[in-house]
Chain A
Amino acid sequence: MSKIIKDIQNPWQEDTAKSITFIVTKDCQLACKYCYLVGKNETERMTWETAKAAIDYILDHEEDRNFKQESVVFDFIGGEPFLEIDLIDKICDYIKSEMFRRNHHWFNSYRFNFSTNGINYDSEKVQKFIEKNRTHLSIGITIDGTKRKHDLNRVYKGSEKGSYDDVVRNIPLWTKQFPEAGTKVTISSADLPYICESVLHLYDLGIKQVNINCVFEDVWKEGDDQLFEEQLTELADKIIDGGKYEENACSFFSENMGKPLDCKLQNNNWCGAGRMLAVDAAGNFYPCTRFAQYSLRDKEAWIIGNTKDGIDENKLRPFLTLDRCTQSTEECKDCEVAEGCAWCQGENYDAAKTHTVFERATAICKMHKARVRANNYYWNKLYRKLELEGKREEFEQNKPTNKTDIC
């Protein structure tokens, strides 16, 4: 049974790994319809000088409380990061050599992480890069499911042409190179009818872990929750009846979901904004990429510093003092199914009535409740089956756990 998937109980492994994100380009071949990057463009590409200045700043401040974590994940995002493979290669080489030269505590405790649309995954340059960094690398290719589902949203810029065929041809190579990798699926209103077929399709493609979440934006229409529940119930039946639960995981189904939460004992913030650091082409630092201007509909970017002046600690204080209950409404505090109900700090900020990160957006409310109902169904059905087959204990000992990847 696969043990590929991380623990859902502690979605943010606080203070163990620092996540540092390079927004290397704001350009992408695609123009996905749900993309939250409202300000994507072809002009803002990171220069080598900026990247180097950011790395120097980060490594120079090894002792700061912002960089004291045991290990580090360098994330590369865009737009589409692999459009800048030359720059990325240079950045990664520099990070490695500098960490070695400085005898930095992150040396040998680092990872490079990519979220890519997968289109140029098989290009010579990308493949060379993978070969060179294989032992410290994780790559997630985003594929939304079946062709009709994927092509509904993930279309080429300037045309309505879907990108499914160009991505799916790279999946066998990817799953061969990263057999433990998972994919990230984002669900918006129009995608709901395709959830079940899409997850099953991804399993069939050899992707064992499907990280899937509903968008946090206020997009949900009347009846969407019923449709969502129906889809998840159907998916539950297919996974359980088809025995797919042994090898595969889908983040929609989790045992740690749907119970009330205590404001004292279970008061952690959901997301890691502020404990992460993102840097963009201008050399500005952000608490997470969602606070960069290109990700925000209305609010001004939440810039916490830059490579020249460093980090303004005051601008990080709200993030580092956030807890669940202070930002939640009374309804959320009293909610009987609050456990597992997620939020995105960036969306909270963008949607807030004032300039704050302390107002939780709850557009996802009815979708979470629908998910909880389907999730309860899934576990009740699965455990009954396992009991009847006498396999419950074995399953409990070896069950695949989910990685919650909400951002």
Chain B
Amino acid sequence: MKPYLQYLVILLDDTSVAYCHADNPLKERNLMPIETLKKAILFGMKQNLMIQYVYPEYELPAEYDETIESIDNLKIGRDVKVTNEVPAAVDCDNIVLRIKIKDLIAKQYDIAALLPNVKRMNICLTDIETFKDEQIAEYKKALNTLGAVLTSLYKEQKHPQLNILTDRLTLKEMHNCEAGIGNITVAPNGKFYLCPAFYYDEKTGVSNKMNYKTKDASRSVGDLENGLCIPNKQLLELDHAPLCRNCDAYHCNRCIWLNQKLTWDNNTPSHQQCVIAHLERNAARDISAKLSEAGYNLPEIKEINYIDPFDVKEEW
């Protein structure tokens, strides 16, 4: 099914935790005014959206509690733990591990050791743009290490999820981040952004390249007063992404923020993003083969001879 708007991400504070690819460079507290929060919740209710609050490290003032709980919600930074370090042990079901590629490679065994104790781990690489083709073998090996642990757990009928490997096992179509289409973010200033990363860029003055004279940095796509207004929204959709719409790395985040940063076009992924997603896809294929032998009934993941769809685009 074509994705439609389902989630409203509410950044409660400028220092709310980063939970995806982009680091949060904002260091000064700037709590969303309670009136803005109420409006955001109202917007979510009227648009029938699931609310996801993103929490800062510090405790919110008590008067926020009632408003926050006035609607069903998920709390990122609370219910979902976000960590930038590989923890020695985990004490929650659902964890986001934000990590640099080289650290993931270096700590692959520590991460693998956590898998038996989680229901779901989301690994989020924070420096995809730095990935070099020379790292392919190392990243492959790290994925194999994690894959071996997952395979033996699955054989024991234990089913922890690891986004970069197990999501692809069952997917039959693209399931990407869907920023701006499946979810939208509202910042403490009451404005909408495609995702928190776009808000960070605006706040830190990164030019949006729309005007070379003003070096304007604005990136909002509407506000709570006037509603959503996403220019060129069609370009966020899969059918408007020439590479992705032909691709079967279905679990790939297809991060439009990284696309914009690296290729300067929302709908065009970088070489790095594609290669990483394909190494994961192929590692998932290996897991799938082993699980099929063990009696699992999983959809086929085809053998392919490329790791960047850009290299075979002429064949489509």
Contacts and interface: CB of A to CB of B under 8 A. Distances in A.
Interface stretch (B20-28, B61-69, B260-268): B260-268
B243 A296 contact: no
B295 interface: no
Interface string B196-216: 000000000001111111000
Nearest to B129: A314
Interface in A301-326: 301-302, 313-315, 317-318, 320-323, 326
Contacts of B100: none
B235 A354 contact: yes
A359 B234 CA distance: 10
B270 interface: yes
B310 interface: yes
B271 A317 contact: yes
Given A321-B242, A354-B235, A296 B268 contact: no
Interface in A339-380: 352-359
A290 to B, nearest CB: 14
B211 A354 contact: no
A298 interface: yes
A293 interface: yes
B209 A355 contact: yes
A356 B260 CA distance: 9
Contacts of B231: 353-354
B235 A298 contact: no
Given A321-B310, A353-B232, A359-B232, A315 B210 contact: no
B302 interface: no
Interface in B244-279: 260, 262-272
B210 A320 contact: no
B262 A356 contact: no
B235 A322 contact: no
B212 A314 contact: no
Contacts of B213: 298
A302 B271 contact: no
Contacts of A354: 210, 231-232, 235, 266
A60 interface: no
A317 B235 contact: no
Interface in B175-203: none
B310 A317 contact: yes
Contacts of A399: none
B263 A356 contact: no
Contacts of B268: 317-318, 321
A317 B263 contact: yes
Contacts of B269: 317
B235 A296 contact: no
Contacts of A314: 262-263, 270-272
Interface string A371-405: 00000000000000000000000000000000000
A355 B211 contact: no
Contact of B240 (A293, A317, A320, A326): A326
Contacts of A318: 263-265, 267-268
A315 B264 contact: yes
A298 B265 CA distance: 17
Contacts of A355: 208-210, 260, 264-266
B313 interface: yes
Contact of B271 (A301, A313, A322): A313
Contacts of B264: 302, 315, 318, 355
B243 to A, nearest CB: 6
Contact of A321 (B207, B208, B211, B313): B313
Interface in B48-77: none
B242 A296 contact: no
A70 interface: no
A378 to B, nearest CB: 36
A297 to B, nearest CB: 9
Nearest to B262: A314
Contacts of B235: 354, 356, 358-359
A300 interface: yes
Interface of A: 293, 296, 298-302, 313-315, 317-318, 320-323, 326, 352-359
30 contacts: A293-B212, A298-B210, A298-B212, A299-B212, A300-B211, A300-B212, A301-B212, A314-B272, A317-B270, A317-B310, A318-B263, A318-B267, A320-B310, A321-B243, A326-B242, A326-B267, A352-B232, A354-B210, A354-B231, A354-B235, A355-B264, A355-B265, A355-B266, A356-B235, A356-B265, A356-B267, A358-B235, A358-B265, A358-B267, A359-B235
